[in-house]
Chains A and B, each alone.
Chain A
Amino acid sequence: MAFSKVLFTLLVFSGYWVRSHRRMVPAQRSAQANLSGAKDAFKVRLSLKTALGDKAYTWNENEEYLFKAMVAFSIRTFSSREKIEISNVLLCNVTKRVSFWFVVTDPSENQTVPAGEVQGAIRMNRNRINNAFILNDQTLEFLEIPATLGPPTEPSTPIWVIIFSVVFCLVIVGIVLLIVSGIRQRRRKSKASTEMTDVEDKCETMVTIENGIPCDTLDSKEGRTNRAFAAGDEKLTPL
């Protein structure tokens, strides 16, 4: 039992040593390691230059160590497999891109952690993994692990309703003010004109006569049409 454990560990370490040396070989599309087709393996892709520009760090063994630590941490917290160590996370096929495949093995069960668990663990801790590398969901991609996009924060009342209500109230107030002042103006005018006519009535005791016709029988507002000049309606042009 112990011997098989040691053998297994030796195999894993040797495999890791082989794979770390394979990293020196430039990216070869045809040379896929044993992991790429494995059912519980995931491909990871980083775009350091796109994300960080001049401040981009180089991807080396230490960064890989950090990555393995983050994955191990995620698996531990998600599925409470207490025995997962950094050495249980295997990376391979690191390219210049930078991209690589990884898989998590469980030493107690002697097999790889199922893909669903790994997916769930990564999704749960995606934010922390991103922050560890100063990247985001687009520049640190886990292919086939969909990111949970954060919905934008919505205040309880939409902002536009607030502004709309403010403008609406202002306009209503303006309309009411104008209507009220208009009514008041009209009342004042009609009061003034009735006062004026009262005064006029008191003064005019005699009837003004013009051309033998009393003035007040003439409808001074509308005027009279003089038929002699009605040569044609075409000349007068109402608007």
Chain B
Amino acid sequence: MQAPREGTAACSPLGQGAGAWKEKELPRAAFPLAYLHCLLAPVKEANEQAKLQVEGGFLIPYIIMLVVEGMPLLYLELAVGQRMRQGSIGAWNTISPYLRGVGIASVVVSFFLSMYYNVINAWAFWYLFHSFQDPLPWSSCPLNSNLTSYDEECEKASSTQYFWYRKTLNISPSIEENGGIQWEQALCLILAWLVVYLCILRGTESTGKVVYVTASLPYCVLIIYLVRGLTLHGAINGLAYMFTPKIEQLANPQTWINAATQIFFSLGLGFGSLIAFASYNEPSNNCQKHAIIVSLINSSTSIFASIVTFSIYGFKATFNYENCINKVILLLTNTFDLEDGFLTPGNLEETKDYLASAYPTEYSKIFPDIKNCSLESELDTAVQGTGLSFIVYTEAIKNMEVSQLWSVLYFVMLLMLGIGSMLGNTAAILTPLTDSNTISSRLPKEAISGLVCLISCAIGLVFTMEAGNYWFDIFNDYAATLSLLLIVLVETIAICYVYGLKRFENDLQVMTGCKPNWYWKIIWAFVSPLLIIGLFIFYLTDYILKGTLQYQAWDATQGQLVTRDYPNYALAVIGLLVASSTMCIPLVALGTFIMNRWKKGKTVSV
């Protein structure tokens, strides 16, 4: 199951909040910057993209899926918003009152997102605070108890992995062993929530100002990193790897499905944000042009961020490759007492053959230790989940000069993106609360925000336990994926079949003056629903074939990740997560139906 990209939250809930905001409250100027956040979603998502890229020539499926799936659905949502002139709940209510559940499902998904997303900010704070040390704490292994060599777990894994799994998470071997709350992580989480509270305290007026900073700073850092990344030794290898398509991978359907899911989440479809943004546009605005421009900017930001990611990736892979070669050289030099400096990477192969033939017994003794170092395999190593941001980048950063500066820059950027996402998330939850008169008449705005932050923080403490990262992965993988797919499917079908494609087309012509051409209509009516249903079927068959859902657990004795099955109660939680947001749609439809029947019955009897 592909996890929703971390950065997608940057776009969607911010817009969800924007949609729920009243027009007079939202400063106009904050708009383009708020949408800039959407465009920055790909920055974080580029990290995930790096992982997907290593599974094979990614650019081609990505571009094709963008044209086939991304642009049409984006155009659809923008058009709906522009036509209905309301936020997501209102817009769907206008199309059909039975569909109000679509908007409510988006809010529920935002609530789940806000619960677990701030933990990433807590980790970013932790790493940021540790970046002020010389040397960086993840650059070397700690010593063992009798000070003769390094800690065992750290030797088997690497120092950056050890810092992440042991020092940061203090992860337990499986999800069943809960462990206690890590006080350091809990403190960082509380700090993260306090920062979020500080920003949303005054409501949208203060949020608008904060967005200026949180949206523009990451772009600056990204440019700095681009310059630094491209000048690193070995960056070319990473870039070459990114741009060479792997033909055999193109035949693998998994690649296409990954690309489709990637585009889907990177554009933030289904959160209601796009509808909200578009509702502020002039009716005569050419949303077709907007859709194309936005999706192009989105993908170019994505590719830009990928270039940075891959140059750093290439640097890391080259560094590890050269280390591996040096280790082999050292092993051979020591075993055969060759002159120091005699073996170079250039003559390694022929010397190996010569030694194998001249001294077969000794060579066979050390043969198992001689690893076949390959740059390709270094570039292919995939890292799972959120660990990618923290492990791969820190590993690359520790080898750069002035590593403290690069580390601070990187984590500040990560924090800006994360806090920006959280602002949108919490705004999306708060606005319905502050709008409803029952609550806002009793409590002032600050108290409501404080209460929401407090509740989310308390629930978020679960993720700071020793097994917390496993629960985090559950939320990350399942809280938003299926629900968003369903929401977009319902949206497409609602527009094309419930509201009527002809009617929609006429509305657009009246509004903007140009009819959507046959390409858009075909995709809206047939291709997109089929594609999304195909994605659904794929995920379901994947689940059924595997029999049970599995997760990656960190095994301290081996120093690597192992696959385990989820226990029953974890499966129940997953089911609850998915059901609580997807069931909103049918339940609200049913509820409206029953209410209408009851009302009709009342009026008839009267």
Could you list which residues of chain A lie within 8 angstroms of chain B, going by C-beta atoms?
A: 27, 29, 45-50, 95-99, 146-149, 151-152, 159-160, 163-164, 167-168, 171-172, 174-175, 178-179, 182, 186, 234, 237-239
Contacts and interface: CB of A to CB of B under 8 A. Distances in A.
A147 B148 contact: yes
A95 B337 contact: yes
A171 B143 contact: no
25 contacts: A27-B337, A29-B337, A29-B359, A46-B340, A47-B340, A48-B340, A49-B341, A97-B340, A146-B149, A148-B147, A149-B143, A149-B147, A151-B143, A160-B129, A163-B129, A167-B129, A168-B194, A171-B194, A171-B195, A179-B446, A182-B201, A186-B444, A234-B93, A237-B86, A239-B435
Contact of B198 (A97, A99, A152, A174): A174
Most B-side CB within 10 Å, residue of A168, A234, A239? A239
A148 B195 CA distance: 44
Nearest to B100: A237
Interface in B133-161: 133, 135, 140, 143, 147-150
A175 B341 contact: no
A97 B338 contact: yes
B147 A171 contact: no
A239 B188 contact: no
A168 B194 CA distance: 8
A163 B132 contact: yes
B147 A178 contact: no
A50 B132 CA distance: 31
A237 B93 contact: yes
Interface in B186-205: 187-188, 191, 194-195, 197-198, 201-202
A231 B195 CA distance: 47
Nearest to B19: A239
Given A29-B362, A98-B340, A172-B194, A164 B129 contact: yes
Contact of B89 (A48, A160, A239): A239
Most A-side CB within 10 Å, residue of B89, B150, B201? B201
B90 interface: yes
Contacts of B340: 46-50, 97-98
B126 A182 contact: no
Contact of B339 (A96, A148, A175): A96
B94 interface: yes
A29 B515 CA distance: 86
Contacts of B129: 159-160, 163-164, 167
Interface of B: 20, 86-87, 89-90, 93-94, 97, 125-126, 129-130, 132-133, 135, 140, 143, 147-150, 187-188, 191, 194-195, 197-198, 201-202, 206, 333-334, 336-341, 359, 362, 432, 435, 444-446
A198 to B, nearest CB: 23
A99 B132 CA distance: 41
A29 B143 CA distance: 35
A239 B86 contact: yes
B311 to A, nearest CB: 28
B336 A29 contact: yes
A171 B87 contact: no
B94 A175 contact: no
B20 A239 contact: yes
Chain A interface, >50% SS class: mixed
Contacts of A179: 201, 446
Nearest to A151: B143
B214 to A, nearest CB: 15
A21 B362 CA distance: 27
B341 A45 contact: no
Given A237-B90, A239-B87, A164 B333 contact: no
B403 to A, nearest CB: 15
B599 to A, nearest CB: 9
A50 B341 contact: yes
Contacts of A98: 340
Nearest to B196: A171
B187 A164 contact: yes
A31 B404 CA distance: 51
B498 to A, nearest CB: 14
A175 B194 contact: yes
A50 B143 CA distance: 24
A147 B149 CA distance: 8
Most B-side CB within 10 Å, residue of A49, A148, A164? A164
A159 B408 CA distance: 14
Nearest to A28: B337
Contacts of A175: 194, 197-198, 201
Contact of A151 (B89, B147, B195, B362): B147
Contacts of A167: 125, 129, 191
A234 B599 CA distance: 13
A168 B130 CA distance: 15
Nearest to A185: B202
A172 B194 CA distance: 8
Contacts of B336: 29
A172 B201 CA distance: 12
A89 B188 CA distance: 58
Contacts of A151: 143, 147
A98 B187 CA distance: 53
Contacts of A29: 336-337, 359, 362
Contacts of A186: 444
Contacts of A97: 333-334, 337-340
Given A151-B147, A160-B133, 7 more contacts: A29-B336, A50-B340, A97-B339, A164-B129, A167-B129, A237-B86, A237-B94
A96 B20 contact: no
Contacts of A152: 135, 140
B198 A238 contact: no
The 6 closest A-B pairs by CB, nearest first: A49-B341, A160-B129, A96-B339, A237-B90, A146-B148, A95-B337
Most A-side CB within 10 Å, residue of B125, B140, B340? B340
A175 B90 CA distance: 33
Nearest to B437: A222
A234 B97 contact: yes
B149 A99 contact: no
A171 B188 CA distance: 13
B82 to A, nearest CB: 16
Contacts of A99: 337
A148 B202 CA distance: 57
A167 B93 CA distance: 45
B418 to A, nearest CB: 15
Nearest to A98: B340
B435 A96 contact: no
A160 B130 CA distance: 5
A174 B195 CA distance: 9
Given A160-B129, A237-B93, A171 B148 contact: no
B148 A149 contact: yes
Nearest to B89: A239
Nearest to B140: A152
A178 B202 contact: yes
A97 B7 CA distance: 53
